[in-house]
Amino acid sequence: MASDKPQLKIGLIGTGFMGKTHVFGFAAAQHVFDLPYELVLHTVADRTAGLAAQGARTLGFARSSGDWRSLIEDTDIDVIDITAPNALHKEMALAAIASGKHVYCEKPLAPSASDAREMADAAEAAGVATQVGFNYLCNPMIALARDLIRSGEIGEIRSYRGIHAEDYMADAQSPFTFRHDPVGCVALSDLGSHALATAEFLTALRAASKPAGSRLDARCSTISRSMAPRERSSLAKSASTSCIFTAPQMPPAGAASAVSKRGRSMIPMASSASRRAISSVSMI
């Protein structure tokens, strides 16, 4: 049935696991929600023309390309959806922003804080809409945890500890992927970004501003061992995160352990049976 809604034409970069996940979301959203636009799967790009054509057939895109830049140049496309490896996000996003397109980018935005800030500043200056794929923040359990914390029900929060562990690289025979490459900041960036986003969502925790080259702008070799100074407006006074790709047989569930002056309480955080992930947060 034809829709009388205006169309929002999507150009997807990447047909791997996350690209498929985004397309599933686009398809489901139109059946579940009364959206102001009709979402149109316009063009998909991948690293070769053959992979892109296969992705278009599988995912339902009208067109395909072996060059992601052709999506940027296509004036018919409204939104660029980036699900490429982490180290490629910046170049693709900046090109899309410069062309006036809206950007939906997977997390992490970039392997370094300075690159991510450059991307955010460019989007703000261009006035385009942006979104980052922090899917766990949409889980109702996370909203409940935030309400409990901000209501003061569990007392004053002294610190935050975020853990995100996956088991999909526990097999030593699994193939090398971009997630193993230090250029993309490996588990710290790919998974740790979820823990940091959760910290900000739950406790209004934000890193204090620091110049480039300071501890907050550290790359993956040091940032996991540093304790970032926090703004006084935060509900938590300090924070740390840990993440791993090789946790064997992790249960498909998550929980938050909150410790305050009133004692400890458990808050369910996230569940992801398909990825066998656990996300836990400890507020001390």
**CA–CA dist 11, 42 (Å, integer):** 6
Confidence (pLDDT) at 183? 65
Q: Which among 133, 150, 176 is the end of a domain?
A: 133
Cis preceding-peptide flag for 111 (omega within 30 of 0): no
Instruction: Looking at the structure, tell me whether residues 166 and 55 fall in a common domain.
Output: no
Which secondary structure element, helix H or strand E, spans residue 144, and what is its range? helix 140-150
* pTM for this prediction: 0.75
Work out the pLDDT band at 51, boundaries 50, 70, 90.
Answer: very high
**CA–CA dist 102, 99 (Å, integer):** 9
Q: Which residue has the higher pLDDT, 175 or 32?
A: 32
Average pLDDT over residues 246-254: 45
Instruction: Looking at the structure, tell me whether residues 121 and 33 fall in a common domain.
Output: yes
Average pLDDT over the chain, rounded to an integer: 75
Assigned domain for 209 exists:
yes
Q: Do 191 and 133 meet the contact criterion of CB atoms below 8 Å apart?
A: no
Confidence (pLDDT) at 176? 67
Assigned domain for 1 exists:
no
Instruction: Looking at the structure, tell me whether residues 107 and 207 fall in a common domain.
Output: no
Number of domains in the chain: 2
Confidence (pLDDT) at 163? 73
Q: Do 19 and 83 meet the contact criterion of CB atoms below 8 Å apart?
A: yes
Per DSSP, the three-state class of 79 is: strand
Average pLDDT over residues 22-47: 95
**CA–CA dist 130, 149 (Å, integer):** 28
Q: Which among 108, 133, 158 is the end of a domain?
A: 133
Which secondary structure element, helix H or strand E, spans residue 244, and what is its range? strand 239-244
Average pLDDT over residues 193-199: 80
**CA–CA dist 170, 143 (Å, integer):** 31
Confidence (pLDDT) at 150? 83
Q: Which residue has the higher pLDDT, 244 or 51?
A: 51
Domain that includes residue 252, residue range: 136-283
Which secondary structure element, helix H or strand E, spans residue 39, and what is its range? strand 38-45
CATH number at residue 86: 3.40.50.720
Confidence (pLDDT) at 254? 39
Per DSSP, the three-state class of 61 is: coil
Average pLDDT over residues 184-213: 66
Work out the angle at residue 174's Cα, subtended by the Cα atoms of residues 173 and 175, and round it to the nearest 5 degrees.
115
Assigned domain for 2 exists:
no
**CA–CA dist 165, 213 (Å, integer):** 28
Percent of the chain clearing pLDDT 70 (strictly above): 64
